[in-house]
């Protein structure tokens, strides 16, 4: 893959795409295993081709093999289970997710045969540009974890749990690099959640200091990627929830920005499509250097298409706080963080990605 474009890029996207109709129908029919994989293998190359056609230099499989952006990866880890319960799951604006919940039944580890290593290899084999995979970040293994579902007694000590989460992710980074991955995205959306008064209060009621958690989450990410090879870039996406075009949190980045930018991550995808994300002032804390922020002014939650001029004005505003050479552009989130997808069409999705590329070309003269 030495002749492929190398990140970072000015135009990018978070990773998930609307599921192809054939994949959605197969899942609805209850297909699993080899039957489902054959359909995914047949449909994903078209998703990759669409991304290349609009001019993106980094492409994913659209997370078409997943039900959730995070639970599938997490449930494939050693001793981390995703349990199904009757009823509803977590609350979003006016809707709840299905009743699935994480649990830990033993020592955590990253298995050598984690299926998403092959998911990445498939993208690499079917693309001509830079293949990327997005996985949940370290904080995801803790934030939604009910202590009642922690059945490995040593993990009653959070420091031991966090240490093993970190070690698990260190192994994941090494394994993805060995598989050929040079652009790994780890989505740690719960930094943004911990800037929301409601979610902060919930953690306080559970006996946890939300500011301490922000620091520990940053420490886990920093230590997980500290020894990555020099030819591997790490991205991180942050948002306030994305389930069928709804959200679960609100609040500016101010309380977490310093910790976020201390992680050593190379590329930050930061949701900025509504007032729920607060102002751009936290960008002033981005250290001068090579780290890059991709402000998500272009929404994936609705079909309304932003204009190039409006996006250019928002980038100009952001450049008051961060060097424009350290900025790029991407949509605010994925288009289908779960298999249910957002309230848009494939044509809407394509137009949004075309807009991302066009804006990058007009602002920076490159993609």
- C-alpha angle 218/198/142, rounded to 5°? 40
The pLDDT of residue 91 is: 47
- The separation between the first and the last C-alpha atoms of the chain, rounded to the nearest angstrom, is 19
Which CATH number characterizes residue 135's domain? 3.20.20.210
The pLDDT of residue 281 is: 97
Give average pLDDT by consecutive 10-residue segment, the chain, 367 residues: 87 97 95 97 98 98 94 96 72 57 96 98 98 97 94 97 98 98 95 94 96 98 98 95 67 95 98 91 97 97 96 98 98 90 93 98 98
Name the pTM for this structure.
0.94
Q: Residue by residue, what is the 3-state secondary structure of the chain?
A: CCCCCCCCCCECCCCCCCCCHHHHHHHHCCCCHHHHHHHHHHHHHHHHHHHHHHCCCEECCCCCCCCECCHHHHHCCEEEEEEEEEEEEEEECCEEEEEEEEEEEEEEECCCCCHHHHHHHHHHHCCCCEECEEEECCCHHHHCCCHHHECCHHHHCHHHHHHHHHHHHHHHHHHHHHCCCCEEEEECCHHHHCCCHHHHHHHHHCCCCHHHHHHHHHHHHHHHHCCCCCCCEEEEEECCCCECCECCCCCCCCCCHHHHCCCCCCEEEEECCCHHHCCCHHHHHCCCCCCEEEEECECCCCCCCCCHHHHHHHHHHHCCCCCHHHECECECCCCCCECCCCCCCHHHHHHHHHHHHHHHHHHHCCC
The pLDDT of residue 107 is: 98
**292 strand-pairing partners:** 267
Q: Measured on CA atoms in the order 86, 87, 92, 97, is the torsion positive or negative?
A: positive
Q: Is residue 16 part of a domain?
A: no
Q: Is residue 12 part of a domain?
A: no
Q: Domain of 234?
A: 21-364
Q: Is residue 176 part of a domain?
A: yes
Q: Is residue 192 part of a domain?
A: yes
The pLDDT of residue 98 is: 60
Residues 6 or more apart whose CB falls under 8 angstroms from that of 128 comprise 4, 52
Q: How many domains does the chain have?
A: 1
Q: How far apart are CA 194 and CA 192, in angstroms?
A: 5
Q: Report the residue count for the chain.
A: 367
Residues 6 or more apart whose CB falls under 8 angstroms from that of 94 comprise 246
Beta carbons within 10 angstroms of residue 250's beta carbon: 20
Q: Is residue 256 part of a domain?
A: yes
Q: Is residue 1 part of a domain?
A: no
The pLDDT of residue 261 is: 98
Q: How far apart are CA 120 and CA 335, in angstroms?
A: 19
C-alpha closest to that of 62 among 260, 295, 300, 241: 300
Q: Is residue 15 part of a domain?
A: no
Q: Is residue 355 part of a domain?
A: yes
Q: How far apart are CA 58 and CA 367, in angstroms?
A: 10
């Amino acid at each position: 893959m030495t002749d492929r474009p190398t990140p970072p890029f000015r135009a990018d996207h978070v990773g998930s795409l609307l599921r192809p109709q054939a994949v959605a129908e197969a899942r609805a029919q209850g297909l699993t295993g080899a039957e489902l994989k054959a359909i995914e293998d047949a449909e994903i190359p078209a998703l990759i081709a669409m991304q290349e056609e609009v001019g993106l230099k980094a492409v994913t499989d659209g997370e078409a093999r997943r039900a959730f952006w995070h639970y599938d990866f997490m449930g494939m880890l050693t001793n981390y289970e995703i349990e199904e319960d009757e009823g509803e799951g977590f609350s979003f604006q006016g809707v709840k997710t299905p009743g699935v919940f994480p649990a830990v039944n033993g020592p955590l580890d990253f298995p050598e045969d984690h299926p998403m290593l092959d998911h990445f290899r498939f993208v690499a084999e079917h693309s001509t540009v830079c293949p990327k995979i997005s996985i949940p970040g370290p904080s995801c293994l803790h934030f939604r974890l009910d202590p009642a579902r922690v059945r490995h007694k040593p993990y009653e000590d959070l420091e031991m749990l966090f240490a093993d989460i970190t070690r698990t992710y260190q192994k994941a980074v090494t394994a993805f690099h060995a598989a050929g991955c040079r652009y790994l995205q780890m989505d740690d959306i719960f930094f943004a959640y911990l800037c929301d008064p409601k979610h902060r209060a919930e953690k306080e009621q559970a006996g946890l200091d939300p500011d301490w958690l922000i620091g520990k989450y940053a420490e886990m990410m920093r230590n997980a990627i500290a020894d990555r090879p020099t030819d591997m870039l790490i991205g991180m996406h942050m948002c306030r929830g994305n389930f069928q075009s709804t959200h679960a949190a609100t609040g500016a980045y101010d309380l977490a920005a310093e910790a976020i930018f201390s992680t050593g991550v190379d590329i930050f995808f930061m949701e900025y499509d509504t007032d729920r994300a607060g102002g751009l002032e936290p960008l002033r804390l981005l250290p001068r250097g090579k780290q890059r922020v991709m402000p998500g002014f272009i929404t994936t939650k609705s079909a309304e298409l932003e204009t190039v001029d409006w996006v250019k004005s928002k980038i100009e505003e952001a450049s008051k706080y961060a060097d424009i050479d350290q900025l790029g552009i991407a949509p605010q989130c994925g288009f289908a963080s779960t298999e249910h997808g957002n309230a848009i069409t494939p044509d809407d999705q394509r137009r949004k990605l075309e807009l991302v590329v066009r804006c990058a070309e007009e602002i920076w003269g490159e993609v």
